[in-house]
Amino acid sequence: MLYLIGLGLSYTSDITVRGLECIKKCNRIYLEHYTSILMAASLEELEDFYGKPVTLADREMVESGCEEILHDADKHDVAFLVVGDPFGATTHTDLVLRAKRQGLPVEVIHNASVMNAVGSCGLQLYNFGQTVSMVFFTDSWRPDSWYNKIWENRKIGLHTLVLLDIKVKEQSIENMARGRLIYEPPRYMSIAQCCEQLLEIEENRGTKAYTPNTPAVAISRLGSATQTFKSGTIEELANYDSGEPLHSLVILGRQCHELELEYLLEFAENKEMLQEAVVRDQEYFKPAAWVPPNEEQDE
């Protein structure tokens, strides 16, 4: 059996009882190590908690060399551990499809992830639209395909969860070109950098899917003991020191319920200014008032 097991957001003990029971009986254990990290637990702590060795699975192993993971999964129990929930990243869906094509039995054990825990910032999960990912810009690569998704969410009044990029076990272009297995230090995008990139693309596009005054909420270290929230405009948050990773951001939709706003005000430096920004933003993409047809013109 191949088990895909969610670990939750932060601690070794965030795993479910059923997930831990499965790990205990597995012959091999892999920890996916490139879409997220377990903030309050090291590899050594996980191995001590499970009482078994754990192999780190980088992007190359999961996306290109997954045969190592799937090997003998029809004869032995193999665990593939994912921070958050197993289906928080599309690459894990691909792993399941590969296993099924080989006739391997698969069982998924779910857990909390940013996709549902984001509700702790006070915004209602029912009011979220498409989730987008913000990657690190480079001098020659500044992708903005996510912009249209934010625009679509905002047009129908929905909030947008923005997941911030992390770089773990990444090679520089030079080292990759020269075939040198030298990896860059881990990098984690901050709230300020994300907001700066948002503002840059809006300035380039100029179609106002959002503006510098659009309200947003910064989420830092979700699910950990140092979890924090900060609400303000995108421009304000572009100057916010969000501290240690991991981070995510929510861009508010124009339909902000009064209970959502009351909750968000608790995280605002200037409650009055944030409330004014939300009220102004609610005019954004507001549907035009219905006008009855002119019967004389129809005739």
Residue 108, marked binder: no
Task: Confirm whether 2-112 and 115-285 share one CATH topology.
Answer: no
At 78 the pLDDT is 97
Residue 164, marked binder: yes
Residue among 117, 35, 131 nearest 82 (CA)? 35
At 67 the pLDDT is 87
Residue 210, both tokens: 């959002």
> Which DSSP category does 64 fall into?
T
Residue 85, marked binder: yes
**Distance in angstroms (rounded) separating the CA atoms of residues 36 and 39:** 9
Residue among 202, 215, 210, 219 nearest 252 (CA)? 215
- What is the CATH number that goes with domain 115-285? 3.30.950.10
CB atoms within 10 A of CB 44: 9
Domain residue extents for the chain: 2-112, 115-285
At 178 the pLDDT is 61
- What is the CATH number that goes with domain 2-112? 3.40.1010.10
Query: Locate tokens 């590899």: which residue?
Result: 43
Residue 247, marked binder: yes
Residue 97, marked binder: no
Where the chain has pLDDT below 50, the residues are none
Residue 120, marked binder: no
Residues 6+ positions from 63 with CB-CB distance below 8 Å: 91, 94
Residue 38, marked binder: no
Residue 222, marked binder: yes
At 84 the pLDDT is 95
